[in-house]
């Protein structure tokens, strides 16, 4: 199989890490599918090279995930690379929600968007990958799923830790068909998500990064791109900490 016909699906691709990842794949000549609930993703895809396409869908709604994957299958007949990146991190006045304060509806929404969506996309993409006997799943976790974090609320941390456990099972189940599954766990990255934190929290967090800066979405895209490549064929079930040194297990 030649690299240039691979189809790469990136969720949450209208902004931040997902957008940088989609750009990375499109520059490599992959057929890149940008999925986001924001309709802006359509204009973004039009500006990318290699005939990138857009899908507008809410990953927190199973019927929309099914419809989106049906479109990928109908259009391309394959899905070689899946990046489960879409995520939310609701803030309370720019900071954390305490467990006692989190409304059940918000807890359920965070679980649906950050974790259940990865399960649904994998459930639908795995048969397409098995048919090719090749696949790459990259799930975006977080430093907040690796250890306690000054900014992560309980629902967010639970989904990001859950993503790691889920990925290990996907790695085991995919391995016989040469499908790898790995996590990237970013530290603080400049994006719309971190822009929602208060200026005090952002300044304190930046000071605590040994490399002395917030990361750029492109820092994460480079790691995702590597994990999605042939060069990473012997890496599976791993977590890549891309965090400027803020967490060194």
- The residues assigned a catalytic role are 156
Phi/psi of residue 95, nearest 5 degrees: -130, -155
CB nearer to ligand NAD: give 68 or 179. 68
CB 47 within 8 A of CB 74: no
60/241 Cα distance (integer angstroms): 26
CB 169 within 8 A of CB 125: no
CB 26 within 8 A of CB 3: no
**What would the two tokens of residue 68 be?**
């989106």
For position 125 contacting ligand NAD by CB under 6 A, the verdict is no
**What would the two tokens of residue 236 be?**
């599976």
CB nearer to ligand NAD: give 134 or 202. 202
Structural Rg of the chain based on CA atoms? 17
Interaction pattern, residues 3-42, with ligand NAD; x per rule: CB under 6 A:
---------x-xxxxx-----------------xxx----
CB nearer to ligand NAD: give 134 or 220. 220
For position 188 contacting ligand NAD by CB under 6 A, the verdict is yes
143/145 Cα distance (integer angstroms): 5
Of residues 77-106, those binding ligand NAD (CB under 6 A): 85-89
Q: Which stretch binds ligand NAD (CB under 6 A): 99-107, 164-172, 192-200, 221-229?
A: 192-200
For position 148 contacting ligand NAD by CB under 6 A, the verdict is no
Chain centroid to Cα 43, Å, comes to 21
**Interacting residues of 236 by C-beta distance below 8 A, sequence separation 6+:** 171, 174, 175, 180, 181, 182
Please, what is the minimum distance in Å from the beta carbon of residue 175 to ligand NAD? 25
For position 60 contacting ligand NAD by CB under 6 A, the verdict is yes
Please, what is the minimum distance in Å from the beta carbon of residue 47 to ligand NAD? 15
Q: Which stretch binds ligand NAD (CB under 6 A): 120-128, 174-182, 186-194, 225-233?
A: 186-194
Q: Residue 73 burial (CB < 10 Å; 0-12/13-18/19+)?
A: middle
**What would the two tokens of residue 8 be?**
């790469």
Question: 93: how many CB neighbours lie within 10 A of its CB?
Answer: 7
CB nearer to ligand NAD: give 34 or 134. 34
Please, what is the minimum distance in Å from the beta carbon of residue 129 to ligand NAD? 21
CB nearer to ligand NAD: give 15 or 236. 15
CB nearer to ligand NAD: give 134 or 188. 188
DSSP type of residue 189 = B
193/217 Cα distance (integer angstroms): 11
Q: Which stretch binds ligand NAD (CB under 6 A): 22-30, 67-75, 130-138, 181-189?
A: 181-189
For position 219 contacting ligand NAD by CB under 6 A, the verdict is no
Which stretches of the chain bind ligand NAD, using CB under 6 A? 12, 14-18, 36-38, 58-60, 85-89, 113, 140, 142, 186, 188-189, 191-194, 217
């Amino acid at each position: 199989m030649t690299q240039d016909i691979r189809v790469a699906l990136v969720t949450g691709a209208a902004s931040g890490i997902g957008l940088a990842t989609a750009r990375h794949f499109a520059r490599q000549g992959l057929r890149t599918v940008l999925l986001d609930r924001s309709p802006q993703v359509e204009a973004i895809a039009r500006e990318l090279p290699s005939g990138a396409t857009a899908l507008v869908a809410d990953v927190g709604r199973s019927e929309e995930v099914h419809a989106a994957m049906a479109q990928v299958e109908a259009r391309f007949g394959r899905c070689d690379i899946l990046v489960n990146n879409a995520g939310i991190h609701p803030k309370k006045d720019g900071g954390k929600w305490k467990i006692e304060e989190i409304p059940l509806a918000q807890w359920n929404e965070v679980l649906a968007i950050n974790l259940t969506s990865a399960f649904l996309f994998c459930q639908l993409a795995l048969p397409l990958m098995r048919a090719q006997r090749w696949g790459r799943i990259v799930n975006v976790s977080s430093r907040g799923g690796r250890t306690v974090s000054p900014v992560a609320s309980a629902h967010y941390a639970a989904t990001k830790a859950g993503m790691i456990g889920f990925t290990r099972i996907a790695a085991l189940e995919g391995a016989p068909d040469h499908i790898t599954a790995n996590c990237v766990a970013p530290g603080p990255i400049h994006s719309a998500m971190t822009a929602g934190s208060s200026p005090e929290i952002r300044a304190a967090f930046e000071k605590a990064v040994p490399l002395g800066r917030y990361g750029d979405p492109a820092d994460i895209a480079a790691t995702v791109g590597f994990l999605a490549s042939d060069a990473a064929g012997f890496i599976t079930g791993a977590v890549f900490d891309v965090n400027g040194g803020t967490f060194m297990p």
